Amino acid sequence: MALDEQEVERVLVVTAHPDDLDFGAAGTIAGWTDAGIEVAYCIVTDGDAGGFDPAVPRGDIAGIRRAEQLAAAATLGVSDVTFLGHPDGYLEVTLDVRRDIARQIRRVRPQRVVTQSPERHWERVYASHPDHLAAGEATLRAVYPDARNPFWSPELAEEGFAAWAVPEVWVMGHQQADHVVDVTAHVERKFAALDCHVSQETSTPEMRARVRDWMRRVAVEGGLAEDRAGEAFLVVPTA
């Protein structure tokens, strides 16, 4: 989709939990915001089933994780963050979830949507959390056909959200990723974002080492030099 000279490019990132997008795309997002692209987040659950410290009251976790994600977003230059509030660990591809995501697509009117893979990753099963799969599938259905169909869910139009056709989707964590972004210049900002998720122990030396190794392997597999860091996506045209 061609942009008018006065129009700013916009990206909507949709994930199941706080911290998902920082693991999968924070370096890429940092590059986008530095380039003047407007990025918005849509977090489908509050991550209220997460955490590691039994001394923290479970009723506090959702608020803690929202605050952590807001802080992480700020490190990457993102201020537009929406939490849909669906229960962590119970996410399904329901009409309500699709409608909530379609509403954000119509509100933001992005040229690109980034989301999680709806397909199980058999080599890294832990990457295929059921909530991730559900968020990815619900987002793809929201992109097509929900958000672009002016006759679907007429209450969205009544709320003032006109239909919007997203030109492309970038899928994180897909085994057939075909596009690698060189994020070497933004690795430290990625870690700064991950460091905000204190309740999830994302800033341990072991975690940093795993993330660095993963980004190096992604870079090499994508044709970059071994001293580079990469993030990989499957790019799906939807126009």
User: Sorting pLDDT into bands at 50, 70 and 90, what band is 3?
Assistant: low
* 102 is a domain residue: yes
pLDDT at 51: 84
Structure confidence by residue, pLDDT tens digits, 159-171: 999 999 999 999 9
Structure confidence by residue, pLDDT tens digits, 112-153: 999 999 998 887 777 789 999 999 999 999 999 999 999 999
pLDDT at 89: 93
Average pLDDT, the chain: 94
User: What is the C-alpha to C-alpha distance for residues 201 and 179, in angstroms, rounded to an integer?
Assistant: 29
Which tokens hold the place of 60?
């506090």
Please count the CA atoms within 13 angstroms of the CA of 109 that sit on its side-chain side: 11
What Rg, from alpha-carbon coordinates, does the chain have?
A: 17
* 5 is a domain residue: no
User: For residue 150, is the peptide bond before it cis, meaning its omega torsion is within 30 degrees of 0?
Assistant: no
Report, as an integer, the average pLDDT of 72-97: 97
Pick 1 or 8 by higher pLDDT. Answer: 8
* 147 is a domain residue: yes
* 71 is a domain residue: yes
CATH code at 149? 3.40.50.10320
* 73 is a domain residue: yes
User: What is the C-alpha to C-alpha distance for residues 158 and 230, in angstroms, rounded to an integer?
Assistant: 42
Please count the CA atoms within 13 angstroms of the CA of 155 that sit on its side-chain side: 6
pLDDT at 174: 93
Which tokens hold the place of 183?
């994020």
Q: Quick one: 158 exposed, middle or buried, by C-beta within 10 A (0-12, 13-18, 19+)?
A: exposed
Distance between alpha carbon 76 and the CA centroid of its chain, in Å?
A: 13
* 154 is a domain residue: yes
* 59 is a domain residue: yes
Structure confidence by residue, pLDDT tens digits, 35-83: 999 999 999 999 999 988 888 898 999 999 999 999 999 999 999 999 9
Number of structural domains the chain divides into? 1
Question: Domain containing 98: what range?
Answer: 10-237
